[in-house]
A and B are shown apart, each in its own frame.
Chain A
Amino acid sequence: EAGVAQSPRYKIIEKRQSVAFWCNPISGHATLYWYQQILGQGPKLLIQFQNNGVVDDSQLPKDRFSAERLKGVDSTLKIQPAKLEDSAVYLCASSFPGAYEQYFGPGTRLTVT
Protein backbone atom coordinates (compact mmCIF):
# COMPACT_ATOMS: atom_id res chain seq x y z
CA GLU A 1 0.00 0.00 0.00
CA ALA A 2 1.44 3.35 -1.01
CA GLY A 3 1.88 5.87 1.78
CA VAL A 4 1.22 9.59 1.90
CA ALA A 5 3.26 11.34 -0.77
CA GLN A 6 4.57 14.88 -0.47
CA SER A 7 6.62 17.12 -2.72
CA PRO A 8 8.99 18.80 -2.78
CA ARG A 9 11.01 17.36 0.10
CA TYR A 10 13.06 20.51 0.54
CA LYS A 11 12.54 24.13 -0.46
CA ILE A 12 14.57 27.26 0.14
CA ILE A 13 13.04 30.64 -0.66
CA GLU A 14 13.59 34.26 0.25
CA LYS A 15 11.16 36.13 2.46
CA ARG A 16 8.21 37.67 0.62
CA GLN A 17 8.35 34.96 -2.06
CA SER A 18 5.57 32.43 -2.50
CA VAL A 19 5.76 28.65 -2.24
CA ALA A 20 3.42 25.69 -2.70
CA PHE A 21 3.48 22.19 -1.30
CA TRP A 22 1.67 19.17 -2.65
CA CYS A 23 0.23 16.14 -0.87
CA ASN A 24 -1.36 12.95 -2.14
CA PRO A 25 -3.02 10.94 0.64
CA ILE A 26 -3.40 7.20 0.97
CA SER A 27 -6.05 5.90 -1.42
CA GLY A 28 -9.47 5.86 0.22
CA HIS A 29 -8.57 8.29 3.01
CA ALA A 30 -11.20 11.00 2.90
CA THR A 31 -9.65 13.07 5.68
CA LEU A 32 -6.49 15.06 5.01
CA TYR A 33 -4.47 17.19 7.41
CA TRP A 34 -1.69 19.75 7.04
CA TYR A 35 0.60 20.29 10.03
CA GLN A 36 3.39 22.77 10.66
CA GLN A 37 6.33 21.48 12.70
CA ILE A 38 8.75 24.16 13.86
CA LEU A 39 12.14 22.96 15.04
CA GLY A 40 11.96 21.77 18.64
CA GLN A 41 8.18 21.64 18.71
CA GLY A 42 5.48 19.11 18.04
CA PRO A 43 3.37 19.30 14.89
CA LYS A 44 0.61 21.89 14.95
CA LEU A 45 -2.54 21.38 12.89
CA LEU A 46 -3.03 24.03 10.24
CA ILE A 47 -6.04 22.70 8.38
CA GLN A 48 -8.19 19.58 8.13
CA PHE A 49 -10.22 18.53 5.09
CA GLN A 50 -13.02 16.01 4.83
CA ASN A 51 -13.19 15.17 1.13
CA ASN A 52 -13.03 18.63 -0.48
CA GLY A 53 -14.54 20.53 2.46
CA VAL A 54 -12.69 22.29 5.27
CA VAL A 55 -13.42 20.86 8.73
CA ASP A 56 -11.03 22.97 10.79
CA ASP A 57 -8.80 25.86 9.72
CA SER A 58 -8.80 27.74 13.00
CA GLN A 59 -5.00 27.78 13.26
CA LEU A 60 -4.28 28.61 9.63
CA PRO A 61 -2.83 32.15 9.20
CA LYS A 62 -5.29 33.03 6.49
CA ASP A 63 -3.62 36.32 5.57
CA ARG A 64 -0.75 34.38 4.01
CA PHE A 65 -1.60 30.67 4.01
CA SER A 66 -4.15 28.97 1.80
CA ALA A 67 -4.99 25.36 1.08
CA GLU A 68 -7.26 23.54 -1.29
CA ARG A 69 -8.38 20.04 -2.05
CA LEU A 70 -10.52 20.62 -5.10
CA LYS A 71 -11.29 17.04 -6.12
CA GLY A 72 -11.20 15.55 -2.66
CA VAL A 73 -7.97 13.67 -3.27
CA ASP A 74 -4.67 15.52 -3.44
CA SER A 75 -4.12 18.87 -1.77
CA THR A 76 -1.97 21.97 -2.11
CA LEU A 77 -0.81 24.28 0.67
CA LYS A 78 0.43 27.71 -0.35
CA ILE A 79 2.25 30.46 1.49
CA GLN A 80 2.26 33.96 0.01
CA PRO A 81 4.23 35.97 1.01
CA ALA A 82 6.56 33.88 3.15
CA LYS A 83 8.08 35.17 6.38
CA LEU A 84 11.19 34.02 8.20
CA GLU A 85 9.06 32.43 10.92
CA ASP A 86 7.46 30.14 8.35
CA SER A 87 10.65 28.08 8.27
CA ALA A 88 9.45 24.65 9.37
CA VAL A 89 8.60 21.16 8.21
CA TYR A 90 5.15 20.92 6.67
CA LEU A 91 3.61 17.52 7.23
CA CYS A 92 0.63 16.06 5.47
CA ALA A 93 -1.38 13.25 7.01
CA SER A 94 -4.47 11.32 6.06
CA SER A 95 -6.99 9.01 7.68
CA PHE A 96 -10.31 7.32 7.17
CA PRO A 97 -13.22 9.55 8.28
CA GLY A 98 -13.64 9.46 12.04
CA ALA A 99 -10.57 7.27 12.50
CA TYR A 100 -8.10 8.09 15.24
CA GLU A 101 -5.05 6.83 13.41
CA GLN A 102 -3.37 9.29 11.08
CA TYR A 103 -0.71 8.36 8.55
CA PHE A 104 1.98 10.91 7.87
CA GLY A 105 3.98 11.75 4.80
CA PRO A 106 7.74 12.49 4.87
CA GLY A 107 7.19 16.23 5.04
CA THR A 108 8.54 19.26 3.19
CA ARG A 109 11.31 21.18 4.90
CA LEU A 110 10.95 24.89 4.14
CA THR A 111 13.73 27.36 4.80
CA VAL A 112 12.93 31.04 4.41
CA THR A 113 16.00 33.30 4.19
Chain B
Amino acid sequence: AQSVTQLGSHVSVSEGALVLLRCNYSSSVPPYLFWYVQYPNQGLQLLLKYTSAATLVKGINGFEAEFKKSETSFHLTKPSAHMSDAAEYFCAAFTGGGNKLTFGTGTQLKVEL
Protein backbone atom coordinates (compact mmCIF):
# COMPACT_ATOMS: atom_id res chain seq x y z
CA ALA B 1 0.00 0.00 0.00
CA GLN B 2 1.11 3.52 -0.76
CA SER B 3 2.31 5.60 2.20
CA VAL B 4 3.56 9.14 2.49
CA THR B 5 5.95 10.32 5.20
CA GLN B 6 6.53 13.94 6.08
CA LEU B 7 9.55 14.50 8.29
CA GLY B 8 8.98 17.19 10.88
CA SER B 9 5.48 18.03 12.03
CA HIS B 10 6.61 21.60 12.75
CA VAL B 11 9.16 23.68 10.87
CA SER B 12 10.13 27.21 11.82
CA VAL B 13 12.08 29.58 9.57
CA SER B 14 12.93 33.24 9.56
CA GLU B 15 11.37 35.54 7.02
CA GLY B 16 13.60 35.54 3.93
CA ALA B 17 15.16 32.18 4.73
CA LEU B 18 14.97 29.01 2.68
CA VAL B 19 11.94 26.80 3.22
CA LEU B 20 12.47 23.04 2.97
CA LEU B 21 9.64 20.64 3.75
CA ARG B 22 10.41 16.96 3.37
CA CYS B 23 8.27 14.25 1.85
CA ASN B 24 9.06 10.63 1.10
CA TYR B 25 6.79 8.09 -0.49
CA SER B 26 6.82 4.35 -0.54
CA SER B 27 5.95 2.68 -3.76
CA SER B 28 7.59 0.39 -6.24
CA VAL B 29 5.81 2.35 -8.96
CA PRO B 30 6.47 6.10 -8.95
CA PRO B 31 3.16 7.69 -8.14
CA TYR B 32 1.75 11.03 -8.99
CA LEU B 33 2.72 13.42 -6.21
CA PHE B 34 1.18 16.59 -4.87
CA TRP B 35 1.76 19.31 -2.35
CA TYR B 36 -1.26 21.02 -0.84
CA VAL B 37 -1.38 24.01 1.51
CA GLN B 38 -4.04 24.56 4.16
CA TYR B 39 -4.53 27.94 5.79
CA PRO B 40 -6.44 28.11 9.09
CA ASN B 41 -10.11 27.26 8.75
CA GLN B 42 -9.80 26.69 5.03
CA GLY B 43 -9.74 23.71 2.70
CA LEU B 44 -6.70 22.39 0.90
CA GLN B 45 -5.25 24.32 -2.03
CA LEU B 46 -3.04 22.65 -4.62
CA LEU B 47 0.47 24.08 -4.67
CA LEU B 48 2.01 21.86 -7.31
CA LYS B 49 1.93 18.38 -8.80
CA TYR B 50 4.27 15.84 -10.35
CA THR B 51 2.76 13.62 -13.03
CA SER B 52 5.86 11.98 -14.57
CA ALA B 53 6.89 14.87 -16.78
CA ALA B 54 9.67 17.20 -15.61
CA THR B 55 11.23 16.18 -12.30
CA LEU B 56 11.49 19.78 -11.11
CA VAL B 57 8.01 21.14 -10.68
CA LYS B 58 7.16 24.78 -10.14
CA GLY B 59 4.01 25.76 -8.32
CA ILE B 60 2.19 28.79 -7.06
CA ASN B 61 3.53 31.37 -4.62
CA GLY B 62 7.19 30.67 -5.54
CA PHE B 63 7.23 27.06 -4.35
CA GLU B 64 8.87 24.23 -6.23
CA ALA B 65 9.53 20.56 -5.64
CA GLU B 66 11.92 18.02 -7.10
CA PHE B 67 11.01 14.40 -7.71
CA LYS B 68 13.94 12.09 -6.94
CA LYS B 69 13.15 8.50 -7.76
CA SER B 70 16.41 7.16 -6.28
CA GLU B 71 15.53 8.73 -2.94
CA THR B 72 11.74 8.25 -3.22
CA SER B 73 11.45 11.89 -2.25
CA PHE B 74 9.46 14.94 -3.30
CA HIS B 75 10.69 17.75 -1.07
CA LEU B 76 9.08 21.19 -1.23
CA THR B 77 11.26 24.31 -1.30
CA LYS B 78 10.98 28.07 -1.52
CA PRO B 79 14.08 30.27 -1.68
CA SER B 80 12.75 33.04 0.53
CA ALA B 81 10.01 32.60 3.12
CA HIS B 82 7.30 35.20 3.54
CA MET B 83 5.05 35.69 6.54
CA SER B 84 2.07 34.74 4.37
CA ASP B 85 3.58 31.26 3.86
CA ALA B 86 2.71 30.28 7.42
CA ALA B 87 0.27 27.40 7.04
CA GLU B 88 0.08 23.62 7.10
CA TYR B 89 1.50 21.74 4.15
CA PHE B 90 0.49 18.25 3.06
CA CYS B 91 2.27 15.93 0.70
CA ALA B 92 0.05 13.42 -1.09
CA ALA B 93 0.48 10.54 -3.50
CA PHE B 94 -1.93 9.14 -6.04
CA THR B 95 -1.49 5.77 -7.61
CA GLY B 96 -3.79 4.72 -10.38
CA GLY B 97 -3.96 1.16 -9.19
CA GLY B 98 -5.14 2.15 -5.78
CA ASN B 99 -7.30 4.91 -7.17
CA LYS B 100 -6.81 6.78 -3.95
CA LEU B 101 -5.05 9.95 -2.80
CA THR B 102 -2.92 9.19 0.27
CA PHE B 103 -1.85 12.12 2.44
CA GLY B 104 1.05 12.58 4.80
CA THR B 105 0.44 13.83 8.32
CA GLY B 106 1.31 17.41 7.45
CA THR B 107 3.98 19.95 8.37
CA GLN B 108 3.08 23.16 10.12
CA LEU B 109 5.28 25.98 8.81
CA LYS B 110 5.93 28.95 11.06
CA VAL B 111 7.61 32.05 9.68
CA GLU B 112 9.24 34.39 12.17
CA LEU B 113 10.42 37.95 11.79
Interface positions of A (Cβ within 8 A of B): 4, 6, 9, 33, 40-45, 48, 55-56, 91, 93, 100-107, 109
Number of interface residues of B (CB under 8 A): 23
Nearest residue (CB) in A for B42 is A106
- Cβ–Cβ contact B90 & A42, under 8 A: yes
Q: Which residues of B contact A41 (CB under 8 A)?
A: 105-106
Q: Within the assembled complex, what's the spacing in Å between the Cα atoms of A48 and B99?
A: 10
Q: A25 → chain B, closest Cβ, in Å?
A: 12
Where the two chains meet, the residues of B that have a C-beta atom closer than 8 Å to any C-beta of A are: 4, 9, 32, 34, 36, 41-46, 49, 51, 90, 92, 94, 99-101, 103-106
In Å, the complex CA distance between A102 and B93 comes to 12
B43 touches which of A44, A45, A56, A107 (Cβ 8 Å): A107
Interface SS of chain B: strand
- Tell me the bound Cα distance from A71 to B69 in angstroms: 42
Q: CA separation between A41 and B94, bound complex, in Å?
A: 18
Is B100 a contact of A56 with CB atoms below 8 Å? yes
Nearest A residue to B106 via CB reads A42
Find out whether the CB atom of A100 lies under 8 angstroms from the CB atom of B32. yes
Closest-CB distance, A111 to chain B (whole angstroms): 13
Give CA–CA (A103, B46) in the complex, Å.
8
* Nearest chain A CB to B12 CB, angstrom units: 17
Nearest-CB residue, chain A, relative to B6: A42
B43 touches A100 (CB 8 A): no
Contact A100 B51 (CB under 8 A): yes
Given A100-B49, A100-B94, A106-B43, residue A45 in contact with residue B101 (CB < 8 A): yes
Residue of A nearest to B51 (CB): A100
